[in-house]
Chain A
Amino acid sequence: MDNFTVGVVVFPGSNCDRDVSWALEGCLDIRTKYLWHESSDLSDVDAIVLPGGFSYGDYLRCGAIARFSPLINALDDFVKSGRRVLGICNGFQILTESGFLPGALTANKNLNFICDDVELNIVSAKGGWFNDGGKKQTIKLPIAHGEGRYHCDSDTLKKLVDNELITLRYKNNPNGSSFDIAGITNEKGNVLGLMPHPERACDETIGGTDGLFTLKSLILK
């Protein structure tokens, strides 16, 4: 797909980096490049994925230490340039900790690590990350997290709702997230954070292809 290259960030403790790369390269023919967290040169990538895992062991709080990596420091200019950033699971936690997205992710209500397929309603097509063309308003994606309960104050929630920044809501809220929130974007729409794993739903042989649309939308300008 031309020379479009997606940077897949690798922190110590990332464990979905290869899954993301496999899904993009193997299923979508989109070139990827691993970016070590100490790198701050983002000039040769066109979009970035912060994959799932346990960056820095999730010490202190999930994403709290990763936020201070040189790469995350360089992300501000990248986002301001309008290029797209997708944070999946731990990547979503890092995006909230670093202030690219509002709110916070904390321990699941039932304290369980939940590994399951969940049904999700697409409630906004902000940023073009999800297909709301009327063909599929509900998708099924896997989740795998212990700290995925989205929390924000009521003013923030109102702002998210009013500006259509909530993209995905759980049909049957598994973790106690406020307003059933599973994924949100920034106001510009070029940053998406979500707890479900689209990269694990890119091939029928592993249970579904509902994640393809979101990964493919990384190439949108």
Chain B
Amino acid sequence: MDQFAVKVFVRLRPSVLDPAGEATKSASIKLGAEGIKSLRIGKMIEVKIEGNGENEVREKIDLLCDRLFANTVIEDYEYSLEKL
């Protein structure tokens, strides 16, 4: 069995308003940061997972992302995978 470290990024779809991102953008500007054009908040999920090769692990992660980690009505996801 191979072990992989997976980082999943879940983001609100561009068409979905992100009020938390807007509030954080506003605070960033108050802090004095200049030039911020957009700020959106997502989630990062770290998973360590075993499987027989990368393809099998990708299948498992795809299922997890599609059914649990992200709500694809409002969120997109992508992930990176590193063999340990």
Contact of B20 among A61, A97, A107 (CB under 8 A): A107
CB-based contact A108/B19 at 8 Å: yes
* Residues in A whose Cβ lies below 8 Å from that of B17: 109, 149, 176
Q: Name the CB-closest residue of B to A65.
A: B68
Known pairs A104-B74, A151-B73, A152-B73; A110 contacts B68 (CB<8 A): no
Which residues 106-122 of A sit at the B interface, judged by CB distance below 8 A? 106-111
CB-based contact A106/B16 at 8 Å: yes
* Residues in A whose Cβ lies below 8 Å from that of B23: 111
CB-based contact A104/B19 at 8 Å: no
CB-based contact A111/B20 at 8 Å: yes
B28 contacts the other chain (CB 8 A): no
Q: Name the CB-closest residue of A to B43.
A: A60
B77 contacts the other chain (CB 8 A): no
**By the criterion of a CB under 8 Å from any partner CB, how many residues of chain B are at the interface?**
12
Which residues 44-75 of B sit at the A interface, judged by CB distance below 8 A? 68-69, 71, 73-74
Nearest-Cβ distance from residue B77 to partner chain A, whole angstroms: 12
How does the 8 Å CB contact mask read for B1-44 relative to A, with 1 for contact and 0 for none?
00000000000100111011001000000000000000000000
Q: Name the CB-closest residue of A to B18.
A: A107
Bound state CA distance, A151 and B15, in angstroms?
10
CB-based contact A107/B19 at 8 Å: yes
Nearest-Cβ distance from residue A62 to partner chain B, whole angstroms: 10
Nearest-Cβ distance from residue B83 to partner chain A, whole angstroms: 26
Known pairs A108-B19, A110-B19, A111-B20; A64 contacts B68 (CB<8 A): yes
CB-based contact A106/B74 at 8 Å: yes
Q: Name the CB-closest residue of A to B12.
A: A106
* Residues in B whose Cβ lies below 8 Å from that of A189: none
Nearest-Cβ distance from residue A157 to partner chain B, whole angstroms: 12
Bound state CA distance, A86 and B45, in angstroms?
32
Bound state CA distance, A184 and B36, in angstroms?
38
Max chain B Cβ within 10 angstroms of own Cβ: one of A61, A102, A152: A61
Contact of B71 among A68, A104, A153, A176 (CB under 8 A): A104
A103 contacts the other chain (CB 8 A): yes
* Residues in B whose Cβ lies below 8 Å from that of A176: 17, 19
Bound state CA distance, A24 and B17, in angstroms?
37
Max chain A Cβ within 10 angstroms of own Cβ: one of B15, B17, B20, B71: B71
Residues in A lying within 8 Å of B, measured CB to CB: 60-61, 64, 68, 96-97, 102-104, 106-111, 149, 151-153, 176
- Of the A-B pairs whose beta carbons lie under 8 Å apart in the complex, a sample of 8, sorted by A's number, is A60-B68, A97-B71, A104-B71, A107-B19, A108-B19, A110-B19, A111-B19, A153-B15
- A68-B68, A104-B73 known; 10 other A-B pairs, CB under 8 Å? A64-B71, A107-B19, A108-B19, A111-B19, A111-B23, A151-B74, A153-B15, A153-B73, A176-B17, A176-B19
